[in-house]
Structure 1
C-alpha cells in the first residue's frame, strides 16, 4: 500500500515539475496528493473498496428499465428494496447511482434519460428510509457504456447501477477511524441469536 502511495506521489511530482521555472505551483495538485495519501495511510480507501465488493456480492446492484422510460417496474423495486435493506445496516457509507441507456436516440437525450433513471432509483431508496444526503444520482453515462454493444434496443443496457462511493465524514465511527468495525461487524438485523441456534440443535437432538 505504501509503495502504491509513493508511486502515486512520484507521478504527481513529475507532473508538477513539468511547469516552467518561475510559474506558481498548482496547489490543487499538492492538495489532492495529500488527501489521497492520507486516505491510503488511514485505510479509508482500502475499506471503501472492500465495502463496495461486499455490497456487490450481497445484493444485486443493477436495475433495468423499459425502452425510453424511467419508471420502476416490480422487479426493479424488489432489487432496490434489497439495496435499501443493506444500506440501512451501514449508516456511515455513501452511495452513487449511475444511469445508463441503450444507443437508440441522441446522446444528449440519452444523458438526460440516464439521469432521470438514476434519480428515480434514488427517490425510491429515500422512500425506503435512506437519507438523501447519503445518495447521489450522478450525471449519467447515457449510451456510452453499454453492457451489450449494439445500436438496437437492448434492455440490459437500460439500467442504473448503485455503488459504494465512500464514507460520511461527520459520522462518529468514521471520525474515530474505526474502519475495521465498519467492514467486519455483523449485520445486526440479520444476525441469528445464539439462543435460537441452541434451541434448534436441542430440538433436532430430541427428535433423533
Structure 2
C-alpha cells in the first residue's frame, strides 16, 4: 500500500513539474511581467497627468462635426459653419477640464506663404466664434496653420473641402482639480456616471395618501 502511495505522489509531482515548464524555479507571479510591465504603468501615468487624449478626441470626432469649410480666399464663417461651431461649443462646455486646438487649412491655389496666413485667419475666426459661445479663450490652444500642406483632395483647382478648419482635443487644463485628482475615467464617461446615479424620490401623491387625507 505504501509503495502504491509513493508511486502516486511521484506521478503527481512529475505532472506538477511538467506543468510549470520554464517557470520552475522563477519568482512567483513573474509571468505577469511579460517583459513590458513598465509600459502599462507609463501609459496610466500619462493618462492621469493629462498627456493622453486619444479617447476624448475620438469621442469628440464621433459625436460632433470637427470641420467647417470656407469660401475661396475667405476666412468668413457662413451659416453652416456657425451651426457646426455651436455644436462644438456645446460639447466643449461639457468638459471644462479639456483644451482644444484649431488647425487652419487651405486648398492648393496660391503661394505657400499666403495660404499659411489664410489658414491662420480661418483658425482665428473659429476660435473667436467659440469664445463668443462661452468657451474660455485660455482653453483654446495656440492656433496652427497647415496652409496647403494637408489637402483632403489633391487637386490644383479650387476645392472647398480643402478650405477648412479642424478642431481637436489637445490636452487638459493644467492644475484642474478633477484631472489632478486622478478622476480621468469620470471625465471620459461623465454621462455614464450621471446615468448610474440614483433617481430622486418622486413627489407624486399616492392613492393611499389621498384616501388618508379625506375630502371628496
Contact 2:106 2:163 in 1 (8 A): yes
**Aligned counterpart, 1:147:** 152
* Residue deviations 1:108-164 (CA, integer Å, cap 9, x gap): 000000000000000000000000000024230000000000111000000000000
* Distance in structure 2 (CA, Å) of the matches to 1:158 and 1:52: 22
Contact 1:101 1:113 in 2 (8 A): yes
**Aligned counterpart, 1:105:** 110
* Residue 168 (1) aligns with residue 192 (2): no
Structure 1: tracts of 5 or more residues without a match: 7-35, 200-208
TM, length-normalised to structure 2: 0.68
Q: Cα gap change, 1:41/1:103 in structure 2, threshold over 3 Å: closer, same or farther? A: closer
* Residue deviations 1:56-82 (CA, integer Å, cap 9, x gap): 001000000000000000000000000
**Aligned counterpart, 2:139:** 134
What root-mean-square deviation, in Å, do the aligned CA atoms of Structure 1 and Structure 2 show? Answer: 3.0
Contact 2:48 2:179 in 1 (8 A): no
Structure 2: tracts of 5 or more residues without a match: 1-34, 205-216
SS in 2 for 1:113: helix
- Bigger Rg, structure 1 or 2: 2
Q: Aligned match of 2:81 in 76, 94, 97?
A: 76
CA displacement at 1:5 relative to structure 2: 6.6
TM, length-normalised to structure 1: 0.71
* Distance in structure 2 (CA, Å) of the matches to 1:125 and 1:69: 18
Aligned residues between the structures: 164
